Structure 1
Amino acid sequence: MKIRYYPILFILILFVGLFVFFFSQSWFLKNNGHDPSSLQLAKSYLLNAIMALIVFFAIYIFRNKYRDLLGFFFLGGSLLKFALFFIFLYPAFNQDGALERLEFLAFFVPYGFALVLETFFLVKLLNTV
């Protein structure tokens, strides 16, 4: 596949994957008596989607000019995601003094999916440039 189609493919896989994970996780939570809105599930998925797009497009745009630094862009994006997690999501999760497993998964399911997808495309970009 040509490199110019990578952004379209990335966006398509990202949104379809996050859509499937979001509704699967929401369905699972509702069927087990939990409220997805109390876990800030939509906010978590939206944050991860936006950050995945920013990281991917930073890597894609600078793939030729800063080829040797693409790994640092990737790591910096991961660091930024964690910083945004601690700024926007963690205070609400930590109100009761403990981070529960459901709260942990509300952030790390979309984070893990986006991370795997970003890694896959970073490797593809590094192998084609």
Structure 2
Amino acid sequence: MKFRYYPALFVSSLLLGLVVLFFAQIWLLENKGHQLSGLQIVKSYVLNGIMALIVFFAIYIFRNKHRDLLGFFFLGGSLIKFTLFFIFLYPGFNHDGNMERLEFLVFFVPYGFASVLETFFLVKLLNTV
């Protein structure tokens, strides 16, 4: 695959994957009888999607100039994602003093998917540059 198509492939893979995961997670939660109103599921997917795009494009832009720092960009992006989680999502999840497994999964399903996808494309970038 041509190197210049990586951004388009990443963006399309990320968006398609997050949309499929979003609807699958909502379907599963509704079938289990969970109330979706307080879960902030949309905010979680949007936050993870935007951050994955920022991290990927930071890596992609600096792939030649700072090749030795690309892993740190990835790790820094993960740190920023966790920081944003604690700023925007955690207070809503922990308002009752207890963070349940369901609330944990609402954030970490899209986070895990985005991280795996970012890792895959980072490895591809490092192997082709």
- Please tell me the TM-score bracket, short chain as reference: over 0.9
Q: State percent identity of aligned pairs.
A: 77
State the match for 1:26 in structure 2.
26
* Matches for 1:28-67 after TM superposition, within 5 Å: 28-67=28-67
TM-score by length of 2: 0.98
Report the Cα offset of residue 31 of structure 1.
1.1
TM-score by length of 1: 0.98
State the match for 1:8 in structure 2.
8
Q: Show CA shifts across 1:27-51 (max 9, x none).
A: 1111111122311000000000000
2:41 maps to amino acid: L
State the match for 2:71 in structure 1.
71
Secondary structure of residue in 1 paired with 2:38:
helix
Equivalenced residues, count: 129
Q: Where do 5+ consecutive residues of structure 1 fail to align?
A: none
Report the Cα offset of residue 53 of structure 1.
0.1
Task: State the superposition RMSD in angstroms.
Answer: 0.6
